[in-house]
Every structure is written in structure tokens, then in C-alpha cells.
């Protein structure tokens, strides 16, 4: 028995000694360099290869005490040939078919350090040549032309595998959306014309039969299954017998079904095994929940560019009077800029004039219906009452709003569109102006539209968002008043707001993102004047989703015109009629759930675009931290006033705490 014991101890010792010896033989990879690369920067190529040089000593230290960042990287000789093949593959995929890659490895056995240099001879890239789309002989001419347009290549541009793949994916989707349910993409063959330096492309597809919808099979379960008619679900599914199979439409209709709130889970799909001839049935499989729901809520949002925290309660009645109509009754209140609140004196000092507690109280009833006028139009009728308490004013709003949301095709430039009508009364009390009251009623018609191409709502790494809001107010009551022979004492105005954000992956691993946002808004009264525009229709800047060196809605125009209650002098309490904002962020995500952001924000609001001055643009810089949950990222931003139009001293000449704002938010700033 003792002999076995000694043998085991000896083996453990030898194993530990071998591991220790191997560790002592490890060589730190001090640097990886690239020479001859002109088309792609070294930072891009560094993310392509397997070998990674050791980070800066500070990041090693952070890694040693927290586990974050990255520790020392060691040289692995087997990675060098893999790196060469990977670099060639990267260049090949971008048209550099004649690229040459060699390496030089320098080893210092004394310091146990290694330096690697990759020498790249890119040579001239190949342009796109001829395109042939094969396997589409039996499809209608208009679909064939659409597919050719999807894959269209520009013979004046370098060959790019990613661009070609994107076009092929789009063409494949076209087939799936025009009845070719069993279509497949087979392969591409690239033929190099060395004389002309062209890359000719042959793309092979298999289409199969073109299918039509036979019927919609309803399979439902759950506690509310007996309370929802099959005919209603078939109607909402959006398909009738004889319609061509359309995968995009199936996905959109599944979203519409889920949006009714009737289902805990729902799926809509073609039953490929049950095809008969050129017909295929659809199956709607859903688990239907309770028709009545009552739930308390913790309110966390970023309304009015400020972080709000509060409580609420919501009652939902599903399938209200049939037609999958949903009724929602909700009430809530939120405390704004919670980090500025003195909770010790919150009840003692609470009053109309108290500015230590800001926020809102809201109550509303909403009716939603997913299928209007026999079309795929989502209707929303909202009635609401809101009290908004701010530093310089209180605003009580009563209103009703009717919205029609249209489902747009996936590949159109405009892929979201909604029309709305809003009737609203705003009672504005300006506490800084002897509690003067201003009552404004508006009747507004508007449109929201735009496009989004981002790849993720939680952490977008590529693509862009572009949205427009256009609103015209009071033409209808103006015409009615004039027809009656009376004078109209309100203001007719229009409002335009454009927001653009763009996201660029600079790491090729979707961890380092450069994000940019710009927002431009303009309001103009063409009958009446500024005083007739409601306070909630004007523009403010500052806050957690705006210029983060200032508190919410703190950036307002200098001076103010006369209010209807009289000529009032002093600082402005209303927002501006012209808004310009811009933000630039570098976002770095690590360990899946954590992120750090460096940002710069600029912007302000003015009383008209003619009052715009570059030296009035407020600039904030700062750093933020993110924790990415499955629902939305939680963020904390530390914003500093880099340039203050009202205090133009250099940033280091100001007191630190007076020049700093802590912002908390849900979701990214944009």
C-alpha cells in the first residue's frame, strides 16, 4: 500500500514540476506589427489574427486585482502560420487575391520576450466583373429582375465578399417572400480574370415550386383559449386562401398577433410536410392567457431627458368587445433627477413653489386594435391627464390622441410610418412670473416616419436610425373660427424634428463601437406668435439623453418675448423654437455584461434659427459605465461642462463639483 502511495506522490510532484517548467519557458509576446499594409490599418488587422500582444502594464495590474481587462499574452509558435492564413483570407474576402504575407519572429531568450512582424504585399485588388444568376429559369420575369437588382454589383468597385453576401441574402429573401418556400442558395463561384483584374461571379439558386396558402390551422391552448374566436385569429393572421407564401409577412403577422396581448406564446409558420401540389397550410399555435390583468409597477424611464423613478399601476382588459381590442388603464408618478432630491425634507417642504421635488403624475386610458379598415393598420386611441412639475413652471395637460401605425415592407427606405391626430389643452403656470396662468388648446395633425438598419436594440454595433416628426397645429380650429366670422386668438404653427444616429464597429469583434447622433428641431408660428405655442411643444436641451453636463431641460434660450398675460422680463421658462444637438461616443463592452463609454455632447436651444450662434453651443464631456441586462442597459454618466455659454471660463478655472452632473439612465443615450 505504501508503494502505491509513494508512486502517486511522485507522479504529482513530476506533474507540478513539468507545469512549473513549462510556465518558466513561456515567452511574453511584447508586440505584433504589420508592415506594407496600406488598405487596412494595423488596428483592424490586429483583430483579425490569433496572436495578441501583451497589454499595457496598467491593464495587467487591473487584471491582477479585478479579473477585468487582459493579462500577459504569451507567444505560441503555432499561431504564426494560422495568422498568415487568416490575413490572406481577410484580404481575399475583400478582393486582394494576389496578396502575399510573410513573417519575422524575433526572440530574446534572456528577457524571454518575443516580437512578431508580418510583412504584407497587398498588390492591386480585383474589381467586380460579370454577374450570372443561375437556377432561376422558371420564375416570373419581374421576380428575376428584382433578384438581379438585389445582387447588383458595381464594376467600378473592389470585390467584397461581405457586400456580395448581403446582396445574395436579400435575393434569397425575395424568393422566400414571393412564394418560393423551399428555395435555397447553393453556392457562388468566383472566376478571376487576371488580364482585366476582374472577379466574375456565378451565383447558384434552387427555387423549387411556388406555393400558395391553402388554409390557416388554429391550435390554441391556455386559460383564455375558449374566449377568443378562431375566425378572429385567422383574420389577424393576415392570410387568405390563394395568397402567395410570404415569409416576411408571416413574421410581421406573428408580431401583430403577439402585440394584441392575447398570447403568452404564439407562432405562425408554414407546415412544409403537409403541402399538397402548390399549396401549403399555415399553422397558428398560441397559448392564450388571462383576459384581465392588474399589476403594480416600478416606473423607471428617461422622460423629458431626465431619469425618473416612481410607482404605478396598470389594468389591462384583453379582447375588449372582441376584435382583439385591448384596453389599458394606468396611473403613475415619477420623481425627476432623484439624485438632487432632499428626501429628509420632502414632505415638510412640498408645495407648489418647492423646486427640490420635481416630476410628474400621469393617468391615461388606451384602446388598441391590431386590424383597422380591413388593412394591416394598428390603431391606438389614447386619453390622458398629466401634471408636470418643473423648476420654473407647473403644466397640467389634458388630451386625446389617435394614432395609425402602418406596417412597412422590410427592405423599403422608410420602414416605419405612423399618422396621428392630437387634441390637447395645456394649463401653464409660471411660478417665477407671479403664478401667471396661460391656457393653450391645440389641434394637431402629424406624421412620424423613418428607417432603422441597426443590428441590435440593446447594443447596436452597425447601421443607423433616421427619424422625422412633422406636426401642424390648429389649422382646423382656425378654419372653423373663420367660417363662423370670429377672430382666432391662438397660434398656428408647425414643428419638424429630425434625429439621426449612426453606429460603426471599429473592432471587428463588436466590442468597440463609435456612435454618433445629431438632432435638429424647428418650430415656427405662421399665425400668432411664440407665446401661443404650448410649453411642451418647444425644445429643451440638457439631461441624461441630451447634453449630459447640464441637468434635464436646463439649457433654454436667453430672454423671452412677451407672454399674453403681460410684458414679462427675465429668464426664459419656455423652451426654444430651434434645437441643435450632437453627441459622439466611444463604447467598449467587456465580459458580456459590462461597458465603459467616453462621450462628448454639444447643443442648445434658441428662439429661432436666426438667433443661432456657435458660441452659444454648450459642450459637455465625460465618462460613463454600463451594465447590460437582458432587458436594457443600466447606465451612469459623469458629465462635465467643458464649455458653458453662460460662464466662459476655462474648465480648470471652475470648481469641480459645480461643473459636474451625475446622470443615470435606462438604455443607451441614443
DSSP readout, 249-310? Answer: HHHHHHHHHHHTS-EEEEEEEE-GGG-BTTEEEEEEEEEE--SEEEEEEEEEE-GGGS-EEE
Across the range 155-178, mean pLDDT stands at: 90
For 289-336, what is each residue's pLDDT tens digit? 999 999 998 877 776 667 778 899 999 999 998 888 999 999 998 887
Question: Which CA distances in Å does 80 have to 46, 51, 171, 362, 582?
Answer: 13, 7, 38, 63, 44
Across the range 408-425, mean pLDDT stands at: 87
Question: How is residue 480 written as a grid cell?
Answer: 372653423
Taking the CA atoms of 539, 545, 546 and 552 in sequence, report the sign of the dihedral they define: positive
Contact 446, 472 (CB under 8 A): yes
Domains and CATH numbers, the chain: 2-121 (3.10.20.310), 127-206 (3.10.20.310), 212-288 (3.10.20.310), 292-666 (2.40.160.50)
Least confident of 105-109, 523-527, 570-574, 661-665: 570-574
pLDDT class for 19, splitting at 50, 70, 90? very low
Diameter of the chain measured on Cα atoms: 115
Q: How far apart are the first and last CA of the chain?
A: 70
Confidence (pTM): 0.75
Percent of the chain clearing pLDDT 70 (strictly above): 87
Q: Residue 658: which H helix or E strand, with range? A: none
Task: Give the SS3 label for residue 430.
Answer: strand
CA-nearest of 662, 664, 661, 585 to 627 is: 664
Percent of the chain clearing pLDDT 90 (strictly above): 42
Q: Which residues neighbour 202 within 8 Å (Cβ) at sequence distance 6 or greater?
A: 132, 134, 188, 189, 191
* pLDDT at position 642: 92
Across the range 434-452, mean pLDDT stands at: 86
For 606-646, what is each residue's pLDDT tens digit? 999 999 999 999 999 999 999 988 878 889 999 999 999 98
* pLDDT at position 237: 83
pLDDT class for 596, splitting at 50, 70, 90? very high
For residue 653, count other CB atoms closer than 10 A to its CB: 8
pLDDT at residue 265 is higher than 60: yes
Most confident of 68-72, 223-227, 397-401: 397-401
Strand partners, 538: none
> What is the chain's percent helix, strand, coil content, to nearest 5?
25, 45, 35
For 366-394, what is each residue's pLDDT tens digit? 999 988 877 778 999 999 999 888 777 78
pLDDT at residue 411 is higher than 80: no
Polymer length of the chain: 670
Least confident of 13-17, 463-467, 549-553, 653-657: 13-17
Question: How is residue 164 written as a grid cell?
Answer: 456580395
Average pLDDT, the chain: 85
Amino acid at each position: 500500500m505504501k508503494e502505491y502511495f509513494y508512486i502517486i506522490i511522485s507522479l504529482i510532484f513530476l506533474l507540478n514540476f513539468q507545469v512549473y517548467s513549462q510556465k518558466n519557458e513561456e515567452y511574453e509576446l511584447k508586440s505584433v506589427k504589420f508592415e506594407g499594409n496600406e488598405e487596412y490599418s494595423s488596428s483592424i488587422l490586429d483583430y483579425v489574427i490569433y496572436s495578441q500582444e501583451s497589454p499595457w502594464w496598467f491593464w495587467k495590474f487591473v487584471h491582477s486585482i479585478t479579473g477585468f481587462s487582459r493579462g500577459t499574452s504569451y507567444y505560441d509558435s503555432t499561431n504564426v502560420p494560422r495568422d498568415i492564413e487568416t490575413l490572406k483570407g481577410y484580404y481575399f474576402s475583400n478582393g486582394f487575391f494576389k496578396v502575399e504575407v510573410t513573417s519575422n519572429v524575433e526572440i530574446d531568450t534572456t528577457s524571454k520576450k518575443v516580437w512578431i512582424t508580418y510583412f504584407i504585399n497587398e498588390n492591386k485588388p480585383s474589381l467586380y466583373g460579370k454577374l450570372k444568376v443561375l437556377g432561376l429559369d422558371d420564375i416570373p420575369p419581374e421576380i428575376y429582375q428584382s433578384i438581379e437588382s438585389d445582387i447588383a454589383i458595381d464594376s467600378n468597385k473592389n470585390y467584397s465578399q461581405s457586400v456580395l453576401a448581403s446582396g445574395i441574402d436579400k435575393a434569397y429573401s425575395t424568393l422566400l417572400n414571393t412564394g418560393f418556400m423551399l428555395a435555397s442558395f447553393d453556392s457562388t463561384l468566383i472566376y478571376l480574370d487576371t488580364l482585366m483584374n476582374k472577379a466574375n461571379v456565378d451565383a447558384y439558386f434552387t427555387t423549387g415550386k411556388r406555393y400558395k396558402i391553402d388554409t390557416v390551422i388554429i391550435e390554441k391552448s391556455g386559460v383564455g383559449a375558449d374566449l377568443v374566436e378562431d375566425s378572429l385569429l385567422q383574420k389577424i393572421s393576415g392570410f387568405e386562401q390563394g395568397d402567395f407564401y410570404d415569409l416576411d409577412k408571416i413574421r410581421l403577422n406573428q408580431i401583430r398577433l403577439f402585440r394584441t396581448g392575447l398570447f403568452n406564446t404564439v407562432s405562425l409558420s408554414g407546415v412544409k410536410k403537409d403541402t399538397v401540389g402548390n399549396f401549403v397550410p399555415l399553422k397558428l399555435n398560441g397559448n392564450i392567457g388571462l383576459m384581465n390583468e392588474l399589476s403594480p409597477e416600478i416606473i423607471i424611464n428617461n422622460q423629458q431627458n431626465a431619469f425618473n423613478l416612481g410607482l404605478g399601476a396598470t389594468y389591462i382588459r384583453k379582447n375588449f368587445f372582441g376584435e382583439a381590442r385591448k384596453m389599458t388603464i394606468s396611473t403613475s408618478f415619477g420623481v425627476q433627477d432623484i439624485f438632487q432630491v432632499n428626501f429628509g425634507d420632502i414632505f415638510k417642504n412640498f408645495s407648489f413653489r418647492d423646486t427640490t421635488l420635481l416630476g410628474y403624475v400621469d393617468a391615461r386610458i388606451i384602446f388598441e386594435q391590431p386590424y383597422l379598415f380591413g388593412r394591416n393598420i394598428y390603431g391606438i386611441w389614447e386619453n390622458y391627464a398629466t401634471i408636470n412639475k418643473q423648476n420654473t413652471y407647473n403644466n397640467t395637460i389634458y388630451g386625446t390622441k389617435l394614432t395609425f401605425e402602418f406596417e412597412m415592407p422590410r427592405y423599403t427606405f422608410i420602414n416605419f410610418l405612423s399618422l396621428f391626430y392630437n387634441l390637447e389643452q395645456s394649463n401653464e403656470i409660471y411660478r417665477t412670473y407671479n403664478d401667471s396662468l396661460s391656457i393653450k388648446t391645440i389641434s394637431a395633425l402629424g406624421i412620424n416616419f423613418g428607417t432603422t438598419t441597426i443590428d441590435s436594440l440593446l447594443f447596436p454595433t452597425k447601421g443607423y436610425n433616421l427619424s422625422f416628426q412633422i406636426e401642424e397645429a390648429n389649422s382646423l380650429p382656425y378654419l372653423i373660427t373663420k367660417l363662423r366670422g370670429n377672430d382666432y386668438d391662438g397660434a398656428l404653427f408647425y414643428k419638424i424634428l429630425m434625429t439621426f444616429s449612426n453606429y460603426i464597429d471599429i473592432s471587428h469583434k463588436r466590442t468597440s463601437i463609435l456612435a454618433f447622433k445629431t438632432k435638429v428641431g424647428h418650430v415656427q408660428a405662421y399665425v400668432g406668435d411664440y407665446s401661443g405655442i404650448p410649453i411642451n411643444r418647444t425644445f429643451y436641451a440638457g439631461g441624461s439623453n441630451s447634453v449630459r453636463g447640464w441637468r434635464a431641460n436646463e439649457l433654454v434660450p436667453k430672454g423671452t418675448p412677451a407672454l399674453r398675460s403681460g410684458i414679462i422680463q427675465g429668464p426664459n421658462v419656455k423652451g426654444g423654437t430651434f434645437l441643435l444637438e450632437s453627441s459622439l461616443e466611444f463604447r467598449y463592452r467587456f465580459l458580456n455584461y459590462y461597458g465603459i463609454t467616453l462621450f462628448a455632447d454639444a447643443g442648445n436651444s434658441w428662439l429661432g434659427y436666426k438667433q443661432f450662434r456657435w458660441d452659444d453651443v454648450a459642450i459637455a464631456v465625460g465618462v460613463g459605465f454600463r451594465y447590460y441586462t437582458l432587458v436594457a442597459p443600466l447606465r451612469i454618466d459623469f458629465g462635465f461642462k467643458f464649455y458653458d455659454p453662460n460662464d466662459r471660463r476655462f474648465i480648470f478655472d471652475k470648481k469641480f463639483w459645480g461643473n459636474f452632473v451625475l446622470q443615470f439612465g435606462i438604455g443607451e443615450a441614443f
